Amino acid sequence: MTSFILLAALLVIVVVAILLPPLLRQPGPSAAGDRREANLAIFRDQLGELERERHDGSLTEDDFAQARQELQRRLLDEVQAPPGLPAGAPAGRKTALALLLVIPLAAAAGYALLGNRQALDPLQRQARITPQQIEEMVDGLVEKLRRNPDDRQGWVMLARSYKVLERYPQAAEAYARAGAVVDQDPALLADYAEVLSRATDGGLQGKPTELIERALKIDPDEPQALLLAGAAATDRQQFAAAADYWARLLAQLEPGSEEAVALEAAVSKAREIAARTAGGKPLEQPASSASVAGAVSGEVTLSGRVAEHASPNDVLFVFARAEEGPRMPLAATRARVGGLPLRFRFDDSMALAGGRKISDFKTISIEARIAKAGQAQTSSGDLYGTLTGVKPGSQNLRLLIDQVQP
């Protein structure tokens, strides 16, 4: 018993030591992956506790099944949830001091009411959430929907779960079963359009375009719908329309962010092509790649060492940056991993509005990044490769993506 008390006191001290510093100083933004891992750990603990209570006889099989189903639903929500924003301003010193007193008291009272000494048994095994278990949870949701096919929210959850598992045909079918829930939600309509496109050949014409247009009628500023509308317009060679869609999305992004910079480059390029088309000029100039000042070109490939961490639909960004000075890209392009190996070309005509040109620098760097979160901002798990010391005018560069962002 004495050993337990000492151990509990030590754990309380550790918790206080972890919680107080962020409250007493301004914290930096936490990684979305850390939050998700913490939530998954909580789910594992809760699942393990349920299994122990069932084993001890304090939970009936029906109560255990109901509680486990609720945990599964919450886990599916966590798996598909987008990365959250950093926490706001830290609590003041008064809050920190209050927690210093409340945490030990709450821990003691909580254990007195709910504690289970069997939890200290080293033979107790911690439940682990495996991919097979996630598949089982999805299968359980499918079975539930078979019994209750009118559960529209359930079909939406199933569609999102299938999308996370990259089972796009099933995701599209589930969205189709959701009916009015999807028809009235512009974000769901846009998501439906995306999975429907991925379920076929990646094109956005036909039904995906109809869904996008319906989403924009409900909310003309829906971000995903604007992004897809611009992509669909480029497929139809309607570059002026694509630029207008993306410009509306650009206004919603944080100025100066890498995502905004990449989108601004796309807007500029679409407007340039639209202007050349309107003037009767060909879309592709026959001049050599070195005829435009500052032109650099080459090919991006993916190393087999990290290829298993990428999927064909992952977003790929390629940036040209100054090696010294601001990190804002001098030029940028966007593609999909399925398009690798990818030929790229940057020149002064692709300079962002109001920005510096490639020819203004003696050397530049070229970076290719596979964004696992689908955004230009760097995040943990991204795959990337970089060429440094590139001189303007360099041709036939070879850029290998062979590193993983910690």
Instruction: Write the pLDDT tens digit of every residue in 376-388.
Output: 778 889 999 999 9
Q: What is the mean pLDDT of residues 113-137?
A: 56
Cβ contact 308:316 at 8 Å: no
Q: What is the mean pLDDT of residues 5-29?
A: 62
Specify the pLDDT at position 378.
Answer: 83
Q: What is the pLDDT of residues 299-309, one digit of tens each?
A: 999 999 999 99
Least confident of 6-15, 59-68, 180-189, 312-321: 6-15
Model confidence at 345: pLDDT above 90 = no
Model confidence at 40: pLDDT above 80 = no
Cβ contact 213:228 at 8 Å: no
More confident residue, 288 or 319: 319
Amino acid 57 reads G
More confident residue, 350 or 379: 379
Model confidence at 128: pLDDT above 60 = no
Q: What is the pLDDT of residues 43-93, one digit of tens each?
A: 777 777 777 777 777 777 777 777 777 777 766 765 554 444 444 444 456
Whole-number average pLDDT of the chain = 77
Specify the pLDDT at position 322.
Answer: 87
Separation of alpha carbons 285 and 276, rounded Å: 10
Q: What is the pLDDT of residues 259-299, one digit of tens each?
A: 888 888 888 888 888 887 765 444 444 444 444 557 898 99
pLDDT over 90, % of the chain: 17
Residue closest to 71 by CA, chosen among 94, 91, 51, 98: 51
Residue 347 CA: distances (Å) to CA of 56, 207, 297, 358: 70, 37, 9, 7
Choose the most confident range, by mean pLDDT, from 42-46, 229-233, 325-329.
229-233
Specify the pLDDT at position 357.
Answer: 83
Sheet of 331-336, strand order: 331-336, 315-322, 364-371, 383-390, 403-404
Specify the pLDDT at position 373.
Answer: 83
Specify the pLDDT at position 400.
Answer: 95
More confident residue, 250 or 400: 400
